[in-house]
Structure 1
Amino acid sequence: MSTTDPIDLACVEPAFVDLTFVGLEAVPALGEEQHTRGLERGAGGGAITAIGAARLGLRTASVSPIGDDADGEFVRAAFAADGVRWAGRRVARTSLTAVMPVGSERAMATFDNGEEARAEEIAALSPRAVVTSLDRLGLAPEGARVFATTGDETARTLAREGRLPDGSERVHALLVNEREALLLSGADDVEEAARQLTAQVPRVVVTLGPRGALAVAAGGGRVERADGVQVDVVDTTGAGDLFAAAYVWADLMGAPELDRLRWAVLYAALSVRVATAVAGASRLDALAEAGARSGLTLPNQHAITHTKEER
């Protein structure tokens, strides 16, 4: 992709390097050492969504600051290999996460370089859509379709404040997992949590792990549900990031809500069969083949246009 190509999706969340310890039977206790059968290095954090979206055919950019170090070169090379435009800046060090998957769960330890994307870096791309966390909503340029995410720490902070941040009305869809939805709403039931959150954002999408996902639109819309896809789980790291990539792809392609959910659930499920999220991020032809077996038809691949009026 050239630096003059229009951008469908700008990924604002910080990119990391993931070091994944493959084959652990349990997370080591304090003072205990365990050996694994493998160690995988892959792009992580916001890079997962960016690469997943690019493999599905979206013109994608990452605006994450990345270190001027060996790990940074690794992430930039991963972006280049999948046609992701890197529109961030060089900083001292690259963020890194050690991932320890055990069955369907995982433990993680993270070094965060503390650097953030800047609003002007994102605006310069004139993206059609943006994926960003709730605490970074102010970075999204006017006119972009905003897909908002959150994490456990941010969800806890917002739960204490009792409301979503200013600018939430701009959000096209809030993508959260079940735990985050319950934290943000204070509800005991996930459907009720989603309905309550639509008082603050137009659409709420909740991932339910192996049970699939649901979505509710503001204004009393009905709950749409997509069932989970049963697979052998190796590593769930990044499944939510890839769910987001596929949901945005299907949304921009004009797919109806239920199909968006089904494509996103399928994409996430396919990813957990191998170690590291990027290794599990399917390309469009593989997703289309898996979707056909589930009765899904690809949305209109010509739905995204890049006209002057749109920019």
Structure 2
Amino acid sequence: MSPNGFNFGRVVRLSILSLGAVVFLAPYIFMISTAGKAQSDIFTSSLNLIPQHWFYVENFTKAWSRVHMPTLLFNGVIVCLMILVIQVVIAIPCAYAMAKLKFRAAKAMMVLVMLGLLVPIHATALPLYVGFDRIGALNSYAALVAPFSISVFGIFLFLQFFRAMPDDLIHAARLDGMSEIGVIARVIVPNAWPAITAFSIFSVVAHWNDLYWPLIVVSNQAYATPPLGLLYFRAAEAGDDYGALMAATLIITSPLVGAFLIAQKRFVEGITMTGLKG
């Protein structure tokens, strides 16, 4: 550091981070700006972030009334919550067994987990659709939730986190007479909240924004998720009303932004700790 307190390296780092923040926030800023503009202000040759005519009330009123927004948000919460709970309930015991228990198939299971990370939902969409169609489960929460009940990414994330936990803690719990289920419930889970929070952010964001799978299995608007609802919004005589469309997009994305801001500390902590080696 120079004698006058000026740190050139720190200024460079802050400048790069600020530039990156502006680049990543630019689409959201543009969306907020467009949500408050009249149609005549959007299709102009000049780009003004501040609306010349404030149409926020009108655009948000259209966004809330042209589709049943409460139903879309409710479906998004139910689907994401069900997927997250099932994923965590399955992933934590699997990851614990692979990280802390000794058995012959551990390495083979690790290979299967890594291979599972390479398989996209697009590769299994057709057989899953046929299966749900034959059992009459299309247009249901089951069809939206079941294909994602096992998360290989969640297993991998928790596996890395559990490997960093001290074995002495688990041995002490076993000496106290705890079963393996008791160890998971009373030792592992209370110490794994940073990883659970990090995984929750990944899971909720991915499935809240998912359009591909709901577009395949849902044709009834009663089960539409938020991204699918935007398609219905455009079909509801609003295809060229970009101000109202951006307002609807803001309504749909605001819960994710709020959730991340609330959980960002634990999210960063969880991501950092999964990279540690025990």
Fold similarity call, TM over 0.5: no
Higher helix share: 2
- Bin the TM-score by the shorter chain: under 0.3
TM-score (norm 2): 0.23
Higher strand share: 1
